[in-house]
Chain A
């Protein structure tokens, strides 16, 4: 598989799957203001998906659109990290997952703005403005709930403990990444770790939360080798109409 295609799928599938998860909150949030804010985040994610997967289809050159890629691939072809496909859990888990991803996304997009591929740089430029707001908002919420009541603190710590083993996958590198580095398209993910850790540590400290010691990292999402069981269910609802009525225009 063309490494650039693979790389773009990774970016697009991350935002596709996370945007889908966040959109599940619509109408069910703790307060109207949060409902509206979460919908904005989901909308930005869907918008970024259209750009990344649109470019992926173009790079692949087989005439597949962003929609074809989103709705007509099966789980093993998805390249998102496991973190984003995990269930929403409670609001705290959703916001923690969002923050852990936003912090990575904003860091990565910052580097991609200098990509040797102008198309990648253009998308990154647009997306990084959105990501900067997302990480500020999710970071504030993590701080507010971490340093809120004893109950909110306990729930946020539980969310962090559950999600932390999924953070490492965002910084794994393989031959796809090596090819991107060589072409000057994208940085090696492992090179983002220090910047990420600095940001995350600052927020978690302010949130009075304890970063787990464990270095263990689940993996298998960004290679497609082994997703969680959750992804299949997500795709079952997401792709249902396209699968049930092939060729229909919507």
Chain B
């Protein structure tokens, strides 16, 4: 998802009888679905894990501006340009809400950004794939935001209050993202042969990367257990992935596009679609920095940050001058 492979700052799950009284009381509150708020006591590992997860989620929103931003200047109509711009702007807003949530845990935005630029924090693997034709913009909204929404809807119930509230706000705003994406790709799937070809190409290329967003299989996901107990994570990777596939296949069929891979089949017995695994080696490569766009994405963010330094400093210096002048009066 937007937060993948988050290493829980504690290996394994702490059994109840090994908890301190304070930890046990904390766990009871979570089990009662009480929200944990910034000034409440919390285990250090809970705080550290949350900072990693929320930080990665925030970075994903911000880096996620780039693949779609790649097409803003080439959008084919004024309306599509406005829709895309508004959508990418929302991603910046979502990054901002999430950084704010992380800040309530005592981690500044600047610090998180520094960790991102130094390669010590990650963002979702999906944004290391390129957007190559206009249908990719539809596919990103439909598949990538669609996948993100599946996860974020679940995360509205996460145990940390500020994170949960950010998710509520984000989900409310995101509902237009997936719909505009599907609408754009619909226009193409039902359009000229060239447009339909673009739509099919986008679906084929982005399908497996979208599958990877949910992270490795539960059986290979070593960090999940404690995060689930703390309700930092609410549903398992495989559960969410299945939910996404089940909701997406009929949408592909409606478009009249070919299924993106031959393994997709309805399984009567399970009441779910079967589907093939993405290439998990490729996934690990992307996570390690070897995806098609890792270097470019990070360089673009780093450049924006470096080029912006004189602006941030300039406006701050002016604010201080103004305050000093006011104080002197």
Instruction: Indicate whether A and B are direct neighbours in the complex (CB within 8 Å).
Output: yes
Verify A143–B311 contact, CB threshold 8 A.
no
Verify B304–A250 contact, CB threshold 8 A.
no
Give CA–CA (A34, B317) in the complex, Å.
17
Rounded to whole Å, the gap between the CB of B318 and the closest CB of chain A is 4
Which A residues between 31 and 48 are near B, CB-CB below 8 angstroms? 31-36, 39-40, 42-43, 46-47
Verify A47–B74 contact, CB threshold 8 A.
no
Nearest A residue (CB) for B99: A32
Rounded to whole Å, the gap between the CB of B141 and the closest CB of chain A is 14
Verify A250–B88 contact, CB threshold 8 A.
no
Cβ of A58 under 8 Å from chain B: no
Secondary structure at chain B's binding surface: helix, strand, loop or mixed? Answer: helix
B92 is contacted by which of A35, A144, A149, A152 (Cβ under 8 Å)? A35
Also in contact, A70 and B307, with CB within 8 A (given A32-B95, A241-B134):
no
A-contacting 9-mer, from B45-53, B62-70, B219-227, B277-285: B62-70
Secondary structure at chain A's binding surface: helix, strand, loop or mixed? Answer: helix
Verify A148–B74 contact, CB threshold 8 A.
no
Give CA–CA (A24, B73) in the complex, Å.
7
Give CA–CA (A27, B89) in the complex, Å.
8
Rounded to whole Å, the gap between the CB of B18 and the closest CB of chain A is 42
Give CA–CA (A34, B312) in the complex, Å.
10
Cβ of B111 under 8 Å from chain A: no
Verify B134–A39 contact, CB threshold 8 A.
no
Rounded to whole Å, the gap between the CB of A63 and the closest CB of chain B is 16
The tally of residues in B whose CB lies under 8 Å from a CB in A reads: 50
Also in contact, A26 and B65, with CB within 8 A (given A43-B85, A152-B317, A250-B134):
yes
Give CA–CA (A237, B93) in the complex, Å.
27
Cβ of A92 under 8 Å from chain B: yes
A152 is contacted by which of B66, B76, B300, B314 (Cβ under 8 Å)? B314
Give CA–CA (A41, B191) in the complex, Å.
32
Give CA–CA (A152, B69) in the complex, Å.
27
Verify B194–A248 contact, CB threshold 8 A.
yes
Verify B317–A23 contact, CB threshold 8 A.
no
Give CA–CA (A36, B314) in the complex, Å.
19
Rounded to whole Å, the gap between the CB of A17 and the closest CB of chain B is 12
Nearest A residue (CB) for B195: A248
Verify B187–A250 contact, CB threshold 8 A.
yes
B304 is contacted by which of A29, A39, A151 (Cβ under 8 Å)? A29
Verify B86–A39 contact, CB threshold 8 A.
yes
Cβ of A171 under 8 Å from chain B: no
Cβ of B313 under 8 Å from chain A: yes
Rounded to whole Å, the gap between the CB of A246 and the closest CB of chain B is 10
Verify B315–A32 contact, CB threshold 8 A.
no
Verify B313–A148 contact, CB threshold 8 A.
yes
A242 is contacted by which of B76, B184, B309, B321 (Cβ under 8 Å)? B76
Which B residues between 228 and 248 are near A, CB-CB below 8 angstroms? none
Verify A90–B187 contact, CB threshold 8 A.
no
Cβ of A91 under 8 Å from chain B: yes
Verify B308–A91 contact, CB threshold 8 A.
yes
Cβ of A155 under 8 Å from chain B: yes
Also in contact, A27 and B312, with CB within 8 A (given A90-B307, A241-B76):
no
A143 is contacted by which of B88, B187, B318 (Cβ under 8 Å)? B318
Cβ of A30 under 8 Å from chain B: yes
Q: Which B residues are in CB contact (< 8 Å) with A247? A: 192
Q: Which A residues are in CB contact (< 8 Å) with B78? A: 16, 46, 49-50, 53, 66-67, 70
Give CA–CA (A241, B135) in the complex, Å.
11
Cβ of A112 under 8 Å from chain B: no
Nearest A residue (CB) for B308: A30
Verify A28–B315 contact, CB threshold 8 A.
no
Also in contact, A92 and B311, with CB within 8 A (given A147-B321, A248-B191, A248-B195):
yes
6 CB contacts below 8 A, A to B, read A30-B311, A31-B311, A47-B82, A152-B310, A241-B76, A242-B76
Contacts A20-B73, A32-B96 aside, 11 further interface pairs with beta carbons under 8 A come to A26-B65, A29-B304, A31-B308, A36-B89, A36-B96, A91-B311, A143-B318, A145-B314, A149-B317, A245-B192, A250-B77
